[in-house]
Structure 1
Amino acid sequence: MKEETGYNIYEEKIINKNKEEKEILEISINITAFMDDTTLISKNKKQLEKMIEICHQFFNINDIKANVSKYELIKINNEKEDLIIEGEPIKKTNSEEGNRYLGIFFRHDNKREVYKKKIMSIINSACNIFNWKKLNEKQIIAVWNIVIMPRIEYQLAAIVLKKWECDKLMTRINMIIKKRAGLAKTTPNFIIYEKDILGVKHIYDLQMEMLCKNLLYQANGNNKLQKLFKIKMIQEQKNLWTSKCPGELETLSFRKNNWIISALKMLNNEKIKICNHEIKDYKENHRIQGGKIDLIELLEEKDFATSIQSRKLKNIMFLEDILEVDGITLLKWKHLCKEQGLNTKGKMPKWFKNIESQLIEDETGQVRRIKNEFIGRAQKENIHVNYFDGDEKQDKSSIITWNDEGEYPIFSIDKKRSQSKKYKRIGIHLILVGDHYDLNNSPRLKECQGCYRNISKKKGNNECLI
């Protein structure tokens, strides 16, 4: 079936932030099928109707009858338009209990409670049988481990349960086994989970095994699975705005509609990581290049999540992004905004203040030189210099600076084009305030009242033109 009729997932992978190197990842999914269960996936109603028409043409050619009354529909972000096939409307649309596919119930809003209720119903059904059947604890444990747990494992393909949720689900079966084994209710649960004692399988342990297996399968599976896994990882990398691989981070949070990231979070809780960067990875093709120190290494945990939007808006990912050209001087917040061409209004964010207090050697903040431990680790790879061109049209009142040999930088407010053949443009001369020049901080400037550089014909008007 043509890929243009399917659901397209598109993402841009940042390879090198400073060099603006990117890689386009795109995947189209239009159909999944297993035996007689077929699912058509499309981004809108028109494309879905086209796909159904192609299927029905195939059915007619091969003398196959499809029961339209059994069709089910899941609509996401569109609850108004009804789907009518061969004059018959699809009735089972966005079912409250979920639409069943291969034994798993999917909801349009991906509500977790649906999957939890299904697992709970499996456990309750088993426990109800255990309660009235004359079985000893060993028989119950055998049925639980061999029959019930595989059914639960299958449902876990659609949800990642937290530790406390797994403990809660195990409560009823724990009580039944303790009662049949003649153990007190207060008996610690680890006794029945211990392999050498009773050996009851815990849902959480089962989930950990399954997550490791499934994540590795997705990361190393067929082309579409690999690409989908890669896209999800890149999306999370951008959501966190970090150069690091999400597989190596511990500061991940659960994602409602992202099974892969939620799975990584659970593995991280158990100190299990799918990416190992203790050994130098020369390719590092899943990390963003462009700097040596990622800002999240310097941010406190409380500032990490709250600063994401601010860092992303300012395009700040590395320590090098907030340093001056010399690589040892920290930019002021307003200068940083100015460098990015953004509005300088508003307060300095709290996360940047914390970075300042952590990096700047001078506690008074007068000298913005960073501490020695960070010098050398940071490397300013790309220095963006806008060279002044007298023939180009300049912004109104833009400040131009240049160096004369043996002197401090010269500053000027660009005013107009010169009529003289000797000069291209004329501007107002600016001089540094005070006798002491602090090269570690941005200078304070004032208009010069007149000096040897003045080219104005009117020498007595207290205006110095250069």
Structure 2
Amino acid sequence: MEFEQHSLPVSHLTFLDDSTLIASSKSGIEDQLSITAEFYTLNNVQANSAKYVLLFSSDSFSFSLSASSQFVLKQARSIVKDMAALLTPKKLLAQHVAYLYNAVFLPRLEFRLQTSLFSESIVQSIISLMLSIIKRKAGLASTTPLTLLYLKIPFSIHHAFCHVLSSHIASWQKIFTHPDFQDFANYAISYLQGFLGAESCPTTIDLTPWSQILSLRSHSLFNSLFFSSRLNITWPLSFWPPR
């Protein structure tokens, strides 16, 4: 069975009583607001314009030439602080915050951490403020086990570390299996094997003895291999790079 693919431009997103208008220009957003106002009038709906928030993207990026994981960590914590400052004063239900956590916050965090993979404890410390907000909005004690947020409906928030780890594993496995990236994949594995001084390919050995090396604590490839091995995730490699 074959399926046709179609592209569909998105101009708005609506969740319960919260609507988001999307446009690529000032005139575009003005047209969207005009149409929205007409819709509200026709349907006898009132909107509090005092709560309107304008967000824009300038396509700006931050770079650090020091190859320091602390730079990435600082950026990740900044995302949390900014979102916490935005959500804390809002009169939102815990379900609203949980939705924003899953649909908005985690993808942004994943983007920031795409070059560095930190341990579960560090990732947990990064997101702790967001989890505290969800607990507070839900009227839960600060000592409430996180498993309640992960498993209980209507929260069902995604596990941040597993989310980020899955992203790194998927990226590396794509590199390992794509023919265009074969040379880079061989280099990456061979370099890591040489750095570890290992006799065998790093995908086939226990990496625990090297897990406490400071320079490897945020290394994307090493930690992807290390953490996936602890979760019994195998890496289908079609090559065995020499040491």
Question: TM over 0.5, yes or no?
Answer: yes
Q: Which residue of 1 aligns with 2:24?
A: none
Q: Which has the higher helix share?
A: 2
Q: CA RMSD in A?
A: 2.5
Q: Which residue of 1 aligns with 2:191?
A: 235
Post-superposition Cα deviations, 1:240-295, rounded to whole Å, max 9, x if no partner, equal 3333211122224364585322322232333323158xxxxxxx85165xxxxxxx
Q: Which residue of 2 aligns with 1:262?
A: 223
Contact 2:123–2:161 (CA under 8 A) maintained in structure 1:
yes
Q: Which residue of 2 aligns with 1:245?
A: 201
Distance 1:249 1:163, change over 3 A: same
For residues 159 and 103 of structure 1, the distance between their equivalents in structure 2, rounded to whole angstroms, comes to: 20
Contact 1:159–1:259 (CA under 8 A) maintained in structure 2:
yes
Aligned amino acid, residue 128 of structure 1: A
Distance 1:262 1:145, change over 3 A: same
Secondary structure of the residue that 2:72 maps to in structure 1?
helix
Give the one of 157, 168, 180 matched to 1:200.
Answer: 157
For residues 115 and 152 of structure 2, the distance between their equivalents in structure 1, rounded to whole angstroms, comes to: 28
For residues 86 and 239 of structure 2, the distance between their equivalents in structure 1, rounded to whole angstroms, comes to: 53
Distance 1:104 1:272, change over 3 A: farther
Q: Which residue of 2 aligns with 1:389?
A: none
Q: Which residue of 2 aligns with 1:271?
A: 232
Distance 1:196 1:132, change over 3 A: closer
* 2:105 is aligned with 1:148: yes
Post-superposition Cα deviations, 1:117-175, rounded to whole Å, max 9, x if no partner, equal 11111111111111111100001111111111111111121111111101111211111
For residues 201 and 177 of structure 2, the distance between their equivalents in structure 1, rounded to whole angstroms, comes to: 16
Contact 1:140–1:177 (CA under 8 A) maintained in structure 2:
yes
For residues 195 and 212 of structure 1, the distance between their equivalents in structure 2, rounded to whole angstroms, comes to: 27
For residues 197 and 68 of structure 2, the distance between their equivalents in structure 1, rounded to whole angstroms, comes to: 27
Post-superposition Cα deviations, 1:288-336, rounded to whole Å, max 9, x if no partner, equal 5xxxxxxxxxxxxxxxxxxxxxxxxxxxx9xxxxxxxxxxxxxxxxxxx
Aligned amino acid, residue 242 of structure 1: A
Secondary structure of the residue that 1:211 maps to in structure 2?
helix
Shift of 1:103: 5.8
Q: TM-score, normalised by structure 1?
A: 0.36
Shift of 1:207: 1.0
Distance 1:213 1:219, change over 3 A: same
* 2:97 is aligned with 1:106: no
Q: Which moved more, 1:178-187 or 1:238-247?
A: 238-247
Distance 1:103 1:243, change over 3 A: farther
Give the one of 59, 66, 88 matched to 1:131.
Answer: 88
Question: For 1:360-375, what aligned pairs fall within 5 Å after superposition?
Answer: none
Q: Which moved more, 1:228-237 or 1:244-253?
A: 244-253
Question: For 1:14-93, what aligned pairs fall within 5 Å after superposition?
Answer: none
Identity %: 19
Q: TM-score, normalised by structure 2?
A: 0.66
Aligned amino acid, residue 286 of structure 1: W
Give the one of 151, 163, 172 matched to 1:215.
Answer: 172
Contact 2:168–2:220 (CA under 8 A) maintained in structure 1:
no
For residues 285 and 145 of structure 1, the distance between their equivalents in structure 2, rounded to whole angstroms, comes to: 37
**Unaligned stretches of 5+ in structure 2?**
1-58
**Unaligned stretches of 5+ in structure 1?**
1-101, 277-283, 289-316, 318-466
Larger radius of gyration: 1
